[in-house]
């Protein structure tokens, strides 16, 4: 498993990322037609997801004493599983969701089980040879509406170290392949990095379309 995080710094960037991960061509299970999408404390229908995130972001903004010019609108996490883990059945769509939820809970320390924590929208994408999960997290704490939280206050290096630690824990717990460490899978890791660049380009295209609509 490999993990990556992208910080969303604008309302248009948030809308673009949500539109991207909820693309039905990537999230529809062949044969059954079921969706791989799930959410926590928000709806999962593109514009409605954007609206739900925006409402909490605005409430968090109202309660914040300090205005940050680099305001965080969301964090986009990607967990990518090795092809062998997916094809062998070691990782299934449901298990990928379970792992992604544990990743978010441990990373943020959010009290999700009691209605706290953070809003998130999660989608397993099936458009590549390997399984990968996208999660967009709202940085406003649900039960306190606080923006000055773990995600906003931590130094990027500390966030990176925490994300790596949580990812390593889950790889060990579930007996997954860590493509960042195992020499045999270095090529797969490089392929993952190439795909991340493709995702960046697709997100930029989505953002350009949104800007045209807003003109």
Q: How confident is the model at residue 213 (pLDDT cuts 50, 70, 90)?
A: very low
What does the pLDDT average to over 84-88?
92
Between CA 75 and CA 120 the distance in angstroms is 9
State the DSSP string of the chain.
Answer: -EEEEEEE-SHHHHHHHHHHHT-HHHHBPTTT--B-EEEESS--STHHHHHHHHHHHHHHHHH-SS--TT---EEEEEEE--HHHHHTTSS-HHHHHHHHHHHHHHHH---GGGT-SEEEEEEEE-SSSS-EEEEEEEEEETTT--SSSHHHHS-HHHHHHHHHHHHHHHHHHHT---TTT-GGGHHHHHHHHHHHHHHHHHHHHHHHHHHHHH-
Q: For 132-182, how does the pLDDT look when each residue is reduced to its tens digit (9 = 90+)?
A: 999 999 988 888 777 666 555 566 677 788 888 999 999 999 999 987 765
Whether 135 and 149 have beta carbons less than 8 Å apart is answered as no
Higher pLDDT pick, 211 / 54? 54
Between CA 30 and CA 49 the distance in angstroms is 24
**How much is the pLDDT for 136?**
96
**How much is the pLDDT for 61?**
79
**How much is the pLDDT for 26?**
95
Which pairing describes strands 74-80 and 2-8: parallel, antiparallel, or unpaired? Answer: antiparallel
CA nearest neighbour of 3 among 108, 133, 141, 186: 133
Q: Which domains does the chain have, with CATH numbers?
A: 2-214 (3.30.930.30)
**How much is the pLDDT for 193?**
58
**How much is the pLDDT for 9?**
87
142 alpha-carbon distance from chain centroid: 17
- Cβ burial of 157 (10 Å; 0-12, 13-18, 19+) is exposed
Q: For 29-76, how does the pLDDT look when each residue is reduced to its tens digit (9 = 90+)?
A: 999 999 999 999 999 888 999 999 999 898 887 776 555 556 789 999
Higher pLDDT pick, 139 / 189? 139
Higher pLDDT pick, 83 / 155? 83
CA nearest neighbour of 91 among 194, 181, 170, 193: 170
Higher pLDDT pick, 154 / 8? 8
pTM of this structure? 0.83
**How much is the pLDDT for 215?**
43
Tokens, residue 149:
């939280």
Q: How confident is the model at residue 214 (pLDDT cuts 50, 70, 90)?
A: very low
Q: For 103-118, how does the pLDDT look when each residue is reduced to its tens digit (9 = 90+)?
A: 999 988 866 776 678 9
Q: How confident is the model at residue 99 (pLDDT cuts 50, 70, 90)?
A: very high
């Amino acid at each position: 498993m490999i993990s990556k995080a992208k910080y969303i710094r604008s309302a248009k960037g948030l809308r673009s990322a949500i539109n991207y991960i909820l693309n039905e061509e990537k999230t529809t299970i062949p044969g059954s037609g079921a969706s791989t999408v799930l959410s926590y404390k928000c709806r999962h229908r593109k514009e409605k997801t954007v609206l739900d995130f925006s409402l909490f972001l605005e409430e968090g903004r109202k309660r914040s004493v300090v205005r940050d010019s680099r305001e965080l609108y969301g964090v986009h996490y990607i967990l990518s599983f090795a092809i062998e883990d997916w094809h062998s059945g070691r990782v299934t769509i449901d298990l990928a969701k379970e792992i992604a939820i544990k990743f978010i809970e441990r990373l943020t320390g959010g009290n999700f089980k009691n209605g706290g924590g953070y809003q998130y929208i999660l989608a397993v994408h099936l458009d590549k040879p390997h399984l990968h999960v996208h999660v967009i997290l709202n940085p406003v704490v649900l039960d306190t509406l606080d923006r000055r939280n773990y995600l906003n206050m931590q130094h990027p290096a500390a966030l990176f170290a925490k994300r790596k630690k949580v990812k390593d824990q889950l790889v060990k717990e579930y007996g997954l392949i860590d493509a960042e460490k195992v020499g045999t899978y270095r090529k797969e890791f490089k392929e993952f990095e190439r795909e991340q660049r493709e995702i960046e380009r697709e997100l930029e295209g989505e953002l350009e379309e949104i800007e045209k609509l807003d003109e």
